[in-house]
Structure 1
Amino acid sequence: MAEVVTFGVQEIVKKVASLASEEISLVWGFQGELTKLRESLLLTEAMLRDAGQSKEVRPEAVQIWVNKLEDIAHEADDVLDECGYELLRRQVEVGNQMKKKVLNFLSLHYNPILFRLKMAHKIENINSALENLNKKAASIGLVNKKFSDATSSREIAVDRETVSIFKRDEKNIVGREKIVSEIVTTLINSSNTQENENLPVMAIVGMAGLGKTTLAKCVYHEDEIGRRFTEKIWICVSIPFEVKSILSKILEHLKPEKARMQDKDAIIKNLQEDLKGKDICSYWMMCGTKILKNGMT
């Protein structure tokens, strides 16, 4: 039964997750809700996969659950289509100067702030409905009680940890050479001119699936970066944000024999000692750099 459920719903889940990954959130500023929607759908998909291992699945209840999931997915699809249409309308309005007066006239009654609030409210409601649906999964045998309890207390999270090693399909990146070169130049120039308290940070921003990590890997593995910086450190910053955990990962990279060190102060002192006078290229862009740089000359 679980296999049938997965087959029937998976395509809808994937479609909505794909739509939630679009860059429309960068225009209106509700990327947080879209990210939450994508994560909830990924979690739902994981539940369906795990259902095949459960002996407590109740077919009738599962069918009702699936019907509700389909309703939520279709509602999300409609909302994201509305966002996509508005994005296209704005692009036409900006790009077609010959019809500017007409388009401005048609837009007199359009309020971008109200639209933004309306979309954010709709997606928030979808997230709430999906969260409630996922909580009911344990009662019909889609997931075990332990998994459900952990999920409701947010102890289960989507694995976002990244690595610096290229996957097979990431090596042949076409059309990003100029961007990579510009980022490398900016990092190197910033490193040459930076003062002790003014640390260079370059943020790569966008929704999931846009290729942010792949772009960062291209920069990280550039020969010029390797020649310019004494150390290169790739760190994945998790949620919730834990400074000591991040510092421990850096120490593990530099001094594997001291990776088990627990005291935060001792970790910082060891890092300061090892990194003193060195140029560091790191992929993490959070706090911690300033902690390490203090005392370095």
Structure 2
Amino acid sequence: MAEFFTFIPQEMLTKLASLAGQELRLQWGFNEELTMLRETLLMVEALLRDADHPRHNQGEAVQRWVAKLEDIAYNADDLLDECRYEELRRQVEPRTRMDTTLNSLSLSKCRFRRRTARKIQKINESLEKLYKLAPGIGLVSASWPSANATTSHNRETYSFFDKDEENIIGREEVVSDIVTNLINSNSGQASHLSVLAIVGMGGLGKTTVAKLVCHDPKIEEHFDRKIWICISTDFQVMMILRRIWQSFKHGTAVEGKDELCKSLQQELKGKRYLLILDDVWCLESEKWEELINCLLNVTDRVGCNIIVTTRNVRVASTIESIVQAFSMREMDKLSNDQCWQILKNRAFPDGRAHINGDQEIIGKEIARRCAGLPLVAKVRANYTITKF
């Protein structure tokens, strides 16, 4: 058992993502620190994708690297607990200590914010240091983004299938339900635009499900146009509109929102389209309202749809508050048996290899440790095959 590689537990990244979340930003004002932490976390999470082909002679080094990441995640969890405790303490203390002055409360809050900001910075520095060690053990490329670089490039997705991506396990019903929902959307409604949000933590396969929906034969027949845009952290309305236009008119530049909307209106006239916005993080209702209004103005046919994939259910709630026709599909984790099936299919794609009883016991234990995440199961399969 010890000789099998154990990949990064999703719980670690969940703890770090919670620390970098919007609630802490709003309550305590750690804007700069949390922005830096979130950008670094996005790079670390990208290791799940970049680790498909590591150097196999680095097993022990990778194990130590993961152990360090686990330590950082636990530090983040402890810091979150401190923030929650401090918030509860402040809610209760004024009721029990009537002599507490506003000045002393303000001073206490300032001290806590300074102390917490330093801890967030320290966690971010540890993550950056850990990331820079990763190339030496074959996990990622050696490049580290500059301070002005955007993280969206590193998270760019596309509508084409990667190897083995078409052979899904445990998502058939989800894909079928979404396809039916899209085809039946706007039946008897006046709205020309519906939005469906696919929500779930990283590694659950939201992007893969969106690809499968996009290439489903029924969708191909139902929609006149399909547009795929990876958003990531850079949600700019003009950028999205330009990307839509570029999908129709390669190399043809259109400047200005008014001219762009008129051009899109002419291009989409009488057409039913499906727009997929992948990996969305934007919580700004003003931006969403601007985008939806622009799309409504260029849409003249009932049955047009937008699919949004996101890790944050609050993104879905923001969209729901703006559009009339909205639905959401939350992605569930896979069962241990489904993770085991992914491991087997990935490790032995031809299906001819014989797995003995001991190997099956070990394989199912590895599947259990995948925590129901298909991406983790795929990554672990790359290490399992070298040991079977």
Normalising by the smaller structure, the TM-score range is: 0.5 to 0.7
Q: Aligned-pair distance for 1:155? A: 3.1
How far, CA to CA, are the matches of 2:166 and 2:16 in structure 1?
Answer: 24
RMSD after superposition: 4.7
How far, CA to CA, are the matches of 1:123 and 1:226 in structure 2?
Answer: 51
| Aligned-residue identity in percent | 36
Number of the residue aligned with 1:204: 198
Whether 1:174 and 2:169 are equivalent positions in the alignment is yes
Question: In 2 relative to 1, CA 74–34 (structure 1 residues): closer, same or farther, beyond 3 Å?
Answer: farther
Number of the residue aligned with 2:179: 184
For residues 215-294 of structure 1, the aligned pairs below 5 Å read 215-258=209-252, 260-284=253-277, 288-294=291-297
How far, CA to CA, are the matches of 1:228 and 1:187 in structure 2?
Answer: 9
Give CA-to-partner distance per residue, 1:231-250, whole Å, 9 cap, x none. Answer: 11111124232111111111
Question: In 2 relative to 1, CA 248–217 (structure 1 residues): closer, same or farther, beyond 3 Å?
Answer: same
Give CA-to-partner distance per residue, 1:147-194, whole Å, 9 cap, x none. Answer: 98942xx53425222100010021110121111111111111114444
| Alignment TM-score, normalising by the size of structure 1 | 0.57
Letter in 2 for 1:292: L
Letter in 1 for 2:166: K
Question: In 2 relative to 1, CA 191–43 (structure 1 residues): closer, same or farther, beyond 3 Å?
Answer: same
Letter in 2 for 1:155: A
Letter in 1 for 2:297: N
Contact map agreement 1:20 1:35 (CA 8 A) in 2: no
Contact map agreement 1:243 1:288 (CA 8 A) in 2: yes
Q: Aligned-pair distance for 1:124? A: 7.8
Q: Aligned-pair distance for 1:128? A: 2.5
Number of the residue aligned with 2:54: none
Contact map agreement 1:231 1:280 (CA 8 A) in 2: yes
Number of the residue aligned with 2:377: none
- SS of residue matched to 1:294: helix
Contact map agreement 2:76 2:123 (CA 8 A) in 1: no
Contact map agreement 1:23 1:206 (CA 8 A) in 2: no
Higher relative contact order, chain-length normalized (CA < 8 Å, sep 6+): 2
Unmatched segments (≥5 aa) in structure 1: 1-10, 47-66, 84-112
- SS of residue matched to 1:170: coil
For residues 136-155 of structure 1, the aligned pairs below 5 Å read 150-151=146-147, 155=149
Letter in 2 for 1:167: D
Contact map agreement 1:21 1:38 (CA 8 A) in 2: no
How far, CA to CA, are the matches of 2:178 and 2:45 in structure 1?
Answer: 36
- SS of residue matched to 2:254: coil
For residues 1-297 of structure 1, the aligned pairs below 5 Å read 15=8, 19-21=12-14, 39-41=39-41, 43=43, 73-77=70-74, 127-133=120-126, 150-151=146-147, 155-157=149-151, 159-196=154-191, 199-258=193-252, 260-284=253-277, 288-294=291-297, 296-297=299-300
How far, CA to CA, are the matches of 2:212 and 2:128 in structure 1?
Answer: 40
Q: Aligned-pair distance for 1:130? A: 2.9
Contact map agreement 1:235 1:246 (CA 8 A) in 2: yes
How far, CA to CA, are the matches of 1:35 and 1:169 in structure 2?
Answer: 35
How far, CA to CA, are the matches of 1:72 and 1:126 in structure 2?
Answer: 16
Unmatched segments (≥5 aa) in structure 2: 26-32, 47-63, 90-112, 136-142, 281-287, 301-388
- SS of residue matched to 2:193: coil
Q: Which of the two has greater strand per residue?
A: 2
Q: Aligned-pair distance for 1:134? A: 6.8
How far, CA to CA, are the matches of 1:16 and 1:115 in structure 2?
Answer: 28
- SS of residue matched to 1:240: coil
How far, CA to CA, are the matches of 2:210 and 2:74 in structure 1?
Answer: 31
How far, CA to CA, are the matches of 1:167 and 1:123 in structure 2?
Answer: 42
- SS of residue matched to 1:265: helix
Letter in 1 for 2:294: I
Question: In 2 relative to 1, CA 204–123 (structure 1 residues): closer, same or farther, beyond 3 Å?
Answer: farther
